[in-house]
Amino acid sequence: MPGPSVFVRELAWVNFIVVPAYLVIASVIGTLWSLAHGLRVLDWITAERELTERERLITLRLPGVLTAIHGVMWLAGLVLFATLYAVVKPAVVPNVAFSIVLSGTVTFASSFLLSEFALRPIAAHALTEGPPQRRITFGVGVRTVVFWAAGSAVPVAGLMLVALTALVRGEVSVGEMSIIVLALGGVTLLAGFSLTVLSTRATTAPIRTVYSALSRVRQGDFESKIVVFDGTELGRLQAGFNDMAAGLRERERVKDLFGRHVGEDVAQVAMSQRVELGGELREVAVLFVDVVGSTRIAATRPPTEVVEVLNRFFAVVVDEVGAHGGFVNKFQGDAALAIFGAPAELPDADCKALQAARKMIERLEREIPEFSAGIGVSAGSAVAGNVGAESRFEYTVIGDPVNEAARLTELAKSVPGHVAVSMRALEGSCDTAERVHWREYRQVKLRGRTEPTRVAVLAID
């Protein structure tokens, strides 16, 4: 500011003795004071226990506390130096006070931002369970305004004060005014740029973590979790993402369990449209597979061994049914019912069912020699839909193909190849390449049916 200089003989003892001594003393006191607060928090963090609510608040307020200690040192210096200069030469007090306030404000703001950056690992530990309900720091809006004031408003206010002083006194030369404006302008540019960069990083860092995690979620990684390290609304945004990701993980887990219980096709239909009781007439193929002599097996083997072999048995069934476009509708003890053509449309459903039966029996005989099984396949019109009550229902297929496939399975246990299919299924949409694997067996009057059924079996050499 325009005015008398502090670099005069009578002020030498203040400039070259008191000021350096105070800087050393203030640095020592500030460091010890800051260490006392920091080490207390560090003890809590390294104790490997959950922090109390009070400890969390103190930990998250540590950057503010350290900055306040910094501010106390500057304020004490302002009072001390203004008093000493006033005793010796009162005319220089405005210049001294203005310089200390300008420098202290910029340093104060920079100190807070740098403390936040340096203490993020500690803040992340305190925010493991999410931000506390009580506000612990300024919000993003207030923080932005404060740093704008420190980096721009205060230096510009200094320029305005210089101009006002020049107008009132009228003794400022063009050279002095130019030097002052250039100096304050440089401070404004440097301080404004530095604080803007720091403030921008403080604001965008949490947003970048959320954006990065969202990108991973879009790619199907629902295990993404963000380290919450910001105590403002941005920290709540980070915690909110973690809550959302946890909900998505739970949704995927339920979806996976749902699909395993009822079949992926049924699960997709149930989640994509309103579920209602009732059904629709569909052209389907039905495959029924049952273990031969299951009662004897259960009586002669330990239950755990029976369950282990059954799981291997059903793994082959599910694998082959899924590979040919069908889904296992239900497991019935040691038997399984598979549907082709519902709920999702499946071209050549009857042919796919025959291919699945043929591949399935080959694998079962090779991979599960402990069990033998019979497989029956039928095709035709059936009602596919939800059956039960409003509070509890299941997707199933009801109709003649289901009954016929179950009866053919009984027959299959005693025919060559252990697979029996209706000629209606074989003569449906199957091409010659599939038909060569089958031969007509004979007409059989199946249990519970009034008309004989033309049956085909595997064409075994």
How does pLDDT run across 332-354, given as a tens digit for each residue? 888 999 999 888 888 889 999 99
How does pLDDT run across 88-141, given as a tens digit for each residue? 888 888 878 877 887 787 777 777 777 777 777 777 777 776 666 666 666 777
Q: What is the pTM of this model?
A: 0.57
Q: Specify which residues 339 forms β-bridges with.
A: 286, 327
pLDDT band at 276, cuts 50/70/90? low
- Is 181 in contact with 159 (CB distance < 8 Å)? yes
Largest separation between any pair of C-alpha atoms in the chain: 127
Domains identified in the chain and CATH numbers: 9-218 (no CATH), 275-458 (3.30.70.1230)
Dihedral sign for Cα 115, 121, 122, 124, please.
Answer: positive
pLDDT of residue 124: 73
Buried b (16+ CB within 10 A) or exposed e, 344-355: bebebbbbbbbb
How does pLDDT run across 169-215, given as a tens digit for each residue? 666 667 777 777 787 778 778 877 877 787 788 788 888 988 998 88
pLDDT band at 317, cuts 50/70/90? very high
Highest mean pLDDT, choosing among 171-180, 220-229, 300-309, 376-385 = 376-385
Residue 383's SS3 state is strand
- Is 41 in contact with 126 (CB distance < 8 Å)? no
Nearest to 427 by CA among 377, 388, 374, 367: 377
Highest mean pLDDT, choosing among 262-271, 384-393, 395-404 = 395-404
Is the pLDDT assigned to residue 447 strictly greater than 90?
no
Is the pLDDT assigned to residue 2 strictly greater than 60?
no
Place of tokens 């969390």: 56
